[in-house]
Amino acid sequence: MYTSIKRFDIRVSMVYATIATLWIISSDSFLALFLNGSVTELAGFSILKGLGFVAVTATALYGVLHTELLKRDSMDRALQEDILERNKTLDALRQSESRFSTIFHRSPVPIVITRLEDAAIVDANDAFAKLLGYERHDLIAKTTPEVGLWVNPEKRVEAVASILKAGSLHNHEIHGRTRSGQLLILLASAELIAFGDVPHVVSILYDVTDQRHLEAQTRYQAMLLAHVSDAVISTDLDFKIRSWNPAAELIYGWQADEVIGKPVEEIVQSDYSDTPREVIIEQFHRAGSWRGETIHQRKDGSTVHLLASTSYITDSAGNRTGVVSVNRDITERVKAQEELREAERQRSQIEKERELLQLKERFVSVVSHEFRTPLAVIYTAAEMMHRYYDRMTPDRLFKQIHEILGQANYMVGLLDDVLTVNKARAGRLEFSPAPLDVLAFCQATIERIQAVDDGKHSISFASDGQLRAVVLDSKLLQHILVNLLSNAIKYSPDGGEVRLDVIRSNGAVTFKVSDQGIGIPPDGLARLYDPFYRATNTRTIKGTGLGLTIVKESVDLHNGTISCETEEGVGTTFTVQLPTSSEIHHDSDSQVG
């Protein structure tokens, strides 16, 4: 600035000199001096006066021009500073625009700029394009409804109205669709801006689709918990209660706010019948779950029967985070089961009493029928001996006595059978296993049967296995073999072979009795072991119907099994398998007789 003023002073001095020179030259005195060669006193004064005027005028002009120049220089300096400031502002704007562009395009949050008037997309970042399933360049100039941002365009009209009213929009939920048709739930925040005189909207979108689905699922699950009839209780790993649904309130009588945060054992007293609570907890820790019936105590002290299903809650990594128990009130079911068991017990008792009554009726019927014949024979023989004793020969007398003894033995056997069945039905039939030589036992039994049969039937016997020392009840085994062999002979009126096979294997002894008799009708198999029952094809054959009942009871006391294969007119085979409770091993024997 100093240099410019100095240059100005030199230029003004030159101007002054020029003006003074012109003034002097143009004055009359100077012209007279120049023309005449002499100056008068008056002329000299005029020259001095002119020079003074020029000096004053030049000084005034200098002041004006100098002031003006200072003003212009100040204005130039202000203009330069303003230009510099504007350049700085423009640089800052360019940098800000660059930063905004970088943030806009690289932001992971979807951002879109649209014209307010027609929703045309002016610009959008890659995140927005990816959200809708488009390439960014495919979006420009299209409207947001065209690219699926608004499932219902009317909702955009409402949103625009809100923006115009408030100048912005915050966390407004909108529904859109991707290019593939997948539904989107978005939260939109928007600001109204102007590019030139044209209003635009900058929108930031957040995809909350998964969150809304999760919230919906949570609400649905909460609704289920609120309406389910089972008590659903969750605890942390220290068994402090975290949740307590309405059904739990109803079942236990405790409100949720009374129990949340408390140890579950303070609220729920459990009874696991014969299993200690510590054992149940140990099983639960080991297996990760437990299911069973338990009895819990309500708030009022009453008890409730529950079917409990308890398991650990785990996170996505499989770590245990808590415990949940679903408890179903089965009190009414347990009560109904108890009533049913009581009714069944009473029914069973009534059935037993009915069977006993029927048994007595059948007993009376059998006794009246079966005892009549032997009693008549005994009576007749005794009367004959009474009347004609002195006339009877010893042979005749022996025959009468033998007849009386035979009929008496039959009646004793009949009474023994009745008493045996009665003991079995009353649970008083004893089971006394002891080591037994089954081979010798079977041979002796066959000899007794053949002696009574008088050789009318042949009995074959075959054995296989270690039979000389087997732990069985000999008395019950006698019931089994005598009745099966006697029936085989009795129901083979035309003779034929009766066979007994005995096999020992796999910890059991199998007895198989076969005949070639009349067989059993199919309709009689279901009642084959009922007391006093006789098949329809045996009415003409003497018998009581107690033999197979005694066999079945004797087999059951051994925990054995009995089966029957039969065909009418061909024959019958009974198979009895008796497990041995302990054994004394000998060399295996095999005999056929």
pLDDT tens per residue across span 161-183: 888 888 888 999 999 999 999 99
Q: How far apart are CA 560 and CA 575, in angstroms?
A: 11
Residue-level pLDDT at 220: 83
* Token pair recorded at residue 189: 């925040």
The answer to whether residues 572 and 557 touch, using CB atoms and an 8 Å cutoff, is: no
Q: How far apart are CA 424 and CA 355, in angstroms?
A: 14
**Mean pLDDT, rounded, for 399-428:** 80
Report the mean per-residue pLDDT for the chain: 82
The answer to whether residues 309 and 231 touch, using CB atoms and an 8 Å cutoff, is: no
Q: Are strands 231-235 and 320-329 parallel, antiparallel or unpaired?
A: antiparallel
* Token pair recorded at residue 62: 């200098």
> Structural domain boundaries of the chain?
2-82, 107-212, 228-329, 337-419, 430-579
283 or 414: which carries more pLDDT confidence? 283
Q: What are the CA-CA distances from residue 35 to residues 31, 32, 42, 519 (Å)?
A: 6, 5, 16, 191
* CATH code, 337-419: 1.10.287.130
Residue-level pLDDT at 590: 37
In which band, very low, low, confident or very high, does the pLDDT at 68 lie, cut at 50, 70 and 90?
low
Over residues 22-34, the pLDDT tens digits come to: 555 555 554 455 4
Over residues 551-580, the pLDDT tens digits come to: 999 999 999 999 999 999 899 999 999 998
Please report, rounded to a whole number, the percentage of residues in the chain having pLDDT higher than 70: 82
Q: How far apart are CA 166 and CA 271, in angstroms?
A: 65
The answer to whether residues 509 and 578 touch, using CB atoms and an 8 Å cutoff, is: yes
Residues linked to residue 579 through DSSP beta bridges, in sequence order: 508
Task: Give long-range contacts, CB 8 A cutoff, 24+ apart: 224-229.
Answer: 229/328, 229/329
Calculate helix-pair angle for 474-490, 547-557, nearest 10 degrees.
Answer: 150
Q: How far apart are CA 122 and CA 109, in angstroms?
A: 17
Buried b (16+ CB within 10 A) or exposed e, 368-389: eebeeebeebbeebeeeeeeee
Residue-level pLDDT at 311: 94
* CATH code, 430-579: 3.30.565.10
Segment of 244-253, 413-422, 580-589 carrying the highest mean pLDDT: 244-253
Q: What angle do CA 63, 66, 71 make, to 5 degrees?
A: 125
Q: How far apart are CA 469 and CA 583, in angstroms?
A: 7
Residue-level pLDDT at 409: 82
In which band, very low, low, confident or very high, does the pLDDT at 106 lie, cut at 50, 70 and 90?
confident
**Mean pLDDT, rounded, for 340-357:** 87
Q: What are the CA-CA distances from residue 578 to residues 96, 461, 507, 511, 555 (Å)?
A: 101, 18, 9, 8, 7
Among 321-330, 356-365, 569-578, the range scoring the smallest mean pLDDT is 356-365
Which residue reads 């410019």 in tokens? 4
Rg over alpha carbons for the chain, rounded to the nearest Å, is: 63
CA atoms within 13 A on the CB side of 124: 29
Let me know if the fold of 107-212 is the same as that of 228-329: yes
Among 82-91, 254-263, 276-285, 343-352, the range scoring the smallest mean pLDDT is 82-91
Which residue reads 């006066």 in tokens? 49
Interacting residues of 584 by C-beta distance below 8 A, sequence separation 6+: 435, 469, 470, 471
Residue 329 has pLDDT above 80, yes or no: yes
Residue 147 has pLDDT above 60, yes or no: yes
Residue-level pLDDT at 585: 40
524 or 199: which carries more pLDDT confidence? 199
CA atoms within 13 A on the CB side of 416: 10
Count of other CB atoms within 10 angstroms of residue 73:
14
Q: Are strands 508-514 and 289-297 parallel, antiparallel or unpaired?
A: unpaired
Tell me if residue 326 falls in helix, strand or coil.
Answer: strand
Over residues 503-520, the pLDDT tens digits come to: 998 889 999 999 998 999
DSSP 182-227: -EEEEEEEEEEEEETTEEEEEEEEEE-HHHHHHHHHHHHHHHHHHH
Residues linked to residue 290 through DSSP beta bridges, in sequence order: 310
Residue 2 has pLDDT above 60, yes or no: no
Superfamily of domain 228-329 in the CATH hierarchy: PAS domain (3.30.450.20)
* CATH code, 107-212: 3.30.450.20
**Mean pLDDT, rounded, for 536-545:** 79
Over residues 187-212, the pLDDT tens digits come to: 999 999 888 889 999 999 999 999 98
Q: What are the CA-CA distances from residue 297 to residues 225, 336, 438, 479 (Å)?
A: 22, 20, 60, 55
146 or 52: which carries more pLDDT confidence? 146
